[in-house]
Amino acid sequence: MLIDYQDRFIYLFIVGVSLLLLGGCHLLLARASLACRIAASVFVISAVMASSVGIFETSNIIPNCLAILLPVITLYHISGSVWLRSATRASLQFVAQPYVRSTGLVTAGLAIVIGAGLSYDQSDEQEADRSMQEMQVLMYRPATSPDTTLRATSDQGRRISLHKPTEPRTSEDVERDESQFLATSTRSGQFVHTQVADDHANCHGWVFTGGRAWIGGDEVESILDENGYEQVCEPRLDDLVVYRHNDKIIHTAIVRAAAPNQQVLVEGKWGWLGLYIHPVEQSYYGSEFSYYRSARNGHLLKGLTTPVSTVPKAPRLRFH
């Protein structure tokens, strides 16, 4: 889904390219008749609009482009008409010269293209900074120590390293911090909040221990292999979805809705935050994800039973 500054960049870029082409075309047709030059303008604008729809795969930006182009090109042709030159010959004598006006279009087009690029870079950098700040919040991990009260293994018998927070925050503190994060989230309106935050587990711990402990991302690759997970292309209900960044696993979640030609919805715990249901591609953890399926019953590690995260707290549905 395109965000606002990307839409702005696209239609400004299209307008700039259109003016560049219109200016060049009218430089070549400086001695042609008015009807010929008007026809050339219509052809150039139509060609650019059609090409833009094909390139960007959307026609939603065309009205914005035409809202700028049509007044500009109309003013261009009117300013060169005989009746206007006769009425304001003294003030418009210089502007009425085709080469000057065409050069103006070229200059304006070039300025808009450059300005759109600079605006895009600035907005993109700001968006990257916001995403980085949000990711730092999500990747926060409280001080933990090995959990000696739990024993969990892979299906092949290898013990999985589990950790617990040494000084977990109170539920009031965690919920307050979560509310502050959600209030400034750039993805507001794209998820459903199903359970409040807690320090007892991260996303991997919620999936594989039922919310009992923290599991490092480096353990997940081995769990996938030793518990018989296989990567699949078409997800089903309760499949695992794994997000990666630079080939490292950074997030795991569970498929909650999957049907042909329908949006895939997943549920997962965002680090120390709560549980969220959201479209699979609309995640703070990026768009590099894969689906995994196993013949085993559920995702809990061997040695663990019913997920504790489903017992103590009643579900809380909050739409954002």
- pLDDT tens, position by position, 100-114: 788 888 999 999 999
pTM: 0.60
d(CA 79, CA 86): 11
pLDDT at 210: 93
pLDDT at 312: 39
* 136-187 pLDDT tens trace: 777 778 899 999 899 999 999 999 999 999 988 888 888 888 888 888 776 6
319 vs 33 pLDDT, higher one: 33
The pair of structure tokens assigned to 228 is 């018989």
**Contact criterion met (CB below 8 Å) for 34 and 81:** yes
d(CA 142, CA 160): 19
Q: CA 165, 171, 176, 181: dihedral to nearest 10 degrees?
A: 50
Arithmetic mean of pLDDT, 192-220 = 93
240 φψ region: left (φ > 0), alpha (ψ -120 to 50), beta (else): beta
SS3 283: coil
